[in-house]
Amino acid sequence: MDPVDMREHQTRAARMESFFREVNERIASMLDPLHAEHPTVEQTWVCECCAGSCTDWVSLSLQEYERVRSDGTWFFIAPAHHDPLVEQVLERTDRYWLVEKIEEAAEITRGTNPRQR
């Protein structure tokens, strides 16, 4: 893939992933009062992969979710949904994979992080 196409791919992917992160942040804001006393109870979240057609759900506890949100370039995805042109896998579990955006995608996701605005 040439550098221009790579940059466009990373930009599109980062915007899609940032959108799914926003959806999950809204879910988290509604769950906070419910799960404050039980942060290890698993909850279902929207997969944050870059495939706009993905309809998979991912199970994480609120505690795990907050850990992912501690870095603006980290996202969780359904196992094997990662795109090596956009991210590297940091951790694999049977329920989700933790990925970190790279290059252009990292810059965009840092800039769109709702917790850093």
* CB neighbour list of residue 96: distance below 8 Å, 6 or more residues apart: 58, 59, 60, 64, 76, 77, 78, 79
Q: Six-digit token pair at 38?
A: 């039980």
Distance CA 7, CA 107 (A): 11
pTM beyond cutoff 0.85: yes
Express each pLDDT in 12-34 by its tens digit. Answer: 999 999 999 999 999 888 876 66
Amino acid at 27: I
Which pLDDT value is given to residue 92?
Answer: 98
Dist. CA 107–CA 99, nearest whole Å: 15
**What pLDDT digit, counting tens, does each position of 80-117 carry?**
999 999 999 999 999 999 999 999 999 999 999 988 86
Lookup: tokens for 49: 């992969």
Are the beta carbons of 22 and 114 closer than 8 angstroms?
A: yes
